[in-house]
Structure formats: C-alpha cells, structure tokens
Amino acid sequence: MNELTKPAIVVPEGVATTELATRDLVVGDGPEAQPGRVVQVHYVGVTFASGREFDSSWEEDRPFKFAVGGGRAIKGLDRGVRGMKAGGRREIIVPPRLGYGRQSPSPLIPADSTLIFVVDLLTVVGGARPGLTGSA
C-alpha cells in the first residue's frame, strides 16, 4: 500500500455476526500487532445496521495510537488488530459486547450496535510487556 486513502465500507448482506470477525483486505509486511506493542492506525467506523459512518481518523489526518491489550481501544478493535502486520488493511466486524454495548458514546451509534471498522495499520512499536496478556 503505497498511497493510503480513506476506504469505503460496504456493509455485508444478511444478519450481523455475534462474534468478532476479521478479513484482511491488504496483508502488510511490517511488524505484527501483539499485546504490549503500541500501534498507530487510521480507521473508519460504520454501524452494521445503517452503514452510516460514526467515526474516522481520516478527517483531520489524526491516526489513533494505542497499546494493544492496554484498554484504550474498544475490545473488538483491540482484538481485531492482533496478528495484523504494519502496512496492512483489515475489516473488523465488532459485535455489541466487544463494542459499546448499551453504553453508546454517540447519538450516531444506537445502543447494542454491531460495528464495522476498516483499519490501516501504520506502525507497530515495541515488544510484548509483562502483565499485558491481551485480555482486553
């Protein structure tokens, strides 16, 4: 992936999954996202039900940086980037229990929404840190 551009998300047909689902759209060749490593990602998020975008790091070109397993990202996003390699792009479908559940932070996300993210993994830094087992 030489030239990164904001992806369009196509909501799959049918019923939303009740489990975390990932699909690599582009397989990266850089370091792998693992618990304890700090990742920097660009992402777009839409709700499964409407396909409406509720968040994106692309608008102000502000990638999201977090430690995998550190609790800063919602559980589904945190778990969904694991095993991904820098330079990759992945679709992550997050069921409500690994997303916001009934505690929606935004009127754009109805309670108990299944979410779809497309994530570009920009960088992976560091090694696994003791104590971060990835139970986030």
Give yes or no: 66 in active site: no
Give yes or no: 48 in active site: no
Give yes or no: 78 in active site: no
Check 78, 109, 116, 117 and give the catalytic one.
117
Give yes or no: 54 in active site: yes
Question: What does each C-alpha distance from 73 to 12, 22, 118 come to in angstroms?
Answer: 24, 16, 14
Check 29, 66, 74, 92 and give the catalytic one.
74
Check 9, 55, 64, 112 and give the catalytic one.
55
Distance CA 68, CA 35 (A): 5
Residue 131: exposure state from Cβ atoms within 10 A (0-12, 13-18, ≥19): exposed
Give yes or no: 100 in active site: yes
Check 78, 100, 109, 120 and give the catalytic one.
100
For the chain, strand residue ranges (E) read: 21-26, 38-47, 53-56, 64-67, 89-94, 115-125
What is the set of active-site residues? 43, 54-55, 74, 100, 117
